Amino acid sequence: MSELKNDRYLRALMQEPVDRTPVWMMRQAGRYLPEYRATRAVAGDFMSLCKNAELACEVTMQPLRRYPLDAAILFSDILTIPDAMGLGLYFETGEGPRFKNPIRSKADIDKLPIPDPEGELQYVMNAVRTIRKELNGSVPLIGFSGSPWTLATYMVEGSGTKTFSKVKGMMYSEPKMMHQLLDKVADSVTSYLNAQIAAGAQSVMIFDTWGGVLTPRDYEEFSLNYMSKIIDGLTRENEGRKVPVTLFTKNGGQWLEKMAATGCDALGLDWTINIAEARDRVGSKVALQGNMDPSMLYATPDRIRQEVQTILADYGDKGTGHVFNLGHGITPEVTPENAGAFINAVVDYSPKYHK
């Protein structure tokens, strides 16, 4: 594997000195870019794009050609694991993801396989290998997965939801059954992320999109416990360097100390918590990633630059350990120019905090 020319992102996650704050964006390869929309049209649909290693590589590289980003993130979807378990993932236009065979009973859970990452999910590993080769050491590659609770939410609901009635119904009325499902999903996520690391991912992130809908007690029992289990089972060193792990729970600001105790290297923050407060609470236990409100990208470039400066100042000169990002994914209606204003502002304004 080629030598890494820019390891700023990995060093910040390990809280080592950097010359400026590294920056990347969740969903940086996405619909806000015209070149992404053109490639997706060639692929035909979203999953065909995910399953074609060359096209997945192309869309991963597109934002890096436009912006001075410090990391690439694998182009894939969090629902690849449930799909590989036989739930029949499909996408309804304007409706988001759906499953033909949602989980309804213990028998459904009993028959769920643990997918082979180099079998049913080999297309993801092929994408990782292709992207790593194409990056040629320019920046590190981030691999990722959804958290067990988040994946279980889609698997039980059968689609996106605002009420979480089916999955919370199962959690409260059949807790044993829910634990059985989460245990299987956690084992699948562990082998999936380890395969991504073996294929060339230099850092991994666990996205717990729906952990924030739980009570504090249920969050610990049904979400955090399983992410902790995954972290315990991950390959933490490869190619002669540490593989940092970032944990992100949307609306998880109240649980940062417990998240930091899992043994992860970094916490992703959404925009509902002040980054200075988060730093005070977790100290130097973990690095922090975040945390500008993605909707700020609808503002003027001047306002965007001002917000970047505010967040950098809030984090302050506490040394390294900050990866600048949005508090969630960039939205499709944002202009590429405004995304550029955000990224360039981090590049321009952060060096003074790293003297």
Q: How would you write the chain as a 3-class SS string?
A: CCCCCCCHHHHHHCCCCCCCCCECCCCCCCCCCHHHHHHHHHHCCHHHHHHCHHHHHHHHHHHHHHCCCCCEECCCCCCHHHHHHHHCEEEECCCEEEECCCCCCHHHHHCCCCCCCCCCCHHHHHHHHHHHHHHCCCCCEEEEEECHHHHHHHHHHCECCCCCHHHHHHHHHCHHHHHHHHHHHHHHHHHHHHHHHHHCCCEEEEEECCHHHCCHHHHHHHHHHHHHHHHHHCCCEECCEECCEEEEECCCHHHHHHHHCCCCCEEECCCCCCHHHHHHHHCCCCEEEEEECHHHHHCCHHHHHHHHHHHHHHHCCCCCCEEEEECCCCCCCCCHHHHHHHHHHHHHHCHHHHC
Domain housing 97? 38-287
The total number of structural domains in the chain stands at 1
In a domain, 352, yes or no: no
Identify whether 91 is part of a domain.
yes
The residues assigned a catalytic role are 27, 31, 40, 77, 154
Residue 262 lies in a domain: yes
Residue 355 lies in a domain: no
Q: Does the residue 46 lie in any domain?
A: yes
* 185 is a domain residue: yes
Known binding-site residue numbers: 27-31, 77, 154, 209, 328
Question: Is residue 353 domain-resident?
Answer: no
In a domain, 259, yes or no: yes
What is the rounded CA–CA span in Å between residue 255 and residue 302?
33
Q: Binding site for substrate: what residues are annotated?
A: 27-31, 77, 154, 209, 328
Q: What is the CATH number of the domain that holds 223?
A: 3.20.20.210
Q: What is the residue-level pLDDT of the chain in tens, covering all 355 positions?
A: 568 999 999 999 999 999 999 999 999 999 999 999 999 999 999 999 999 999 999 999 999 999 999 999 999 999 999 999 999 999 877 778 999 999 999 999 999 999 999 999 999 999 999 999 999 999 999 999 999 999 999 999 999 999 999 999 999 999 999 999 999 999 999 999 999 999 999 999 999 999 999 999 999 999 999 999 999 999 999 999 999 999 999 999 999 999 999 999 999 999 999 999 999 999 999 999 999 999 999 999 999 999 999 999 999 987 799 999 999 999 999 999 999 999 999 999 999 999 8
Spatial separation of the C-alpha atoms in residues 71 and 76, rounded to whole Å: 15
21: its two tokens = 């704050």
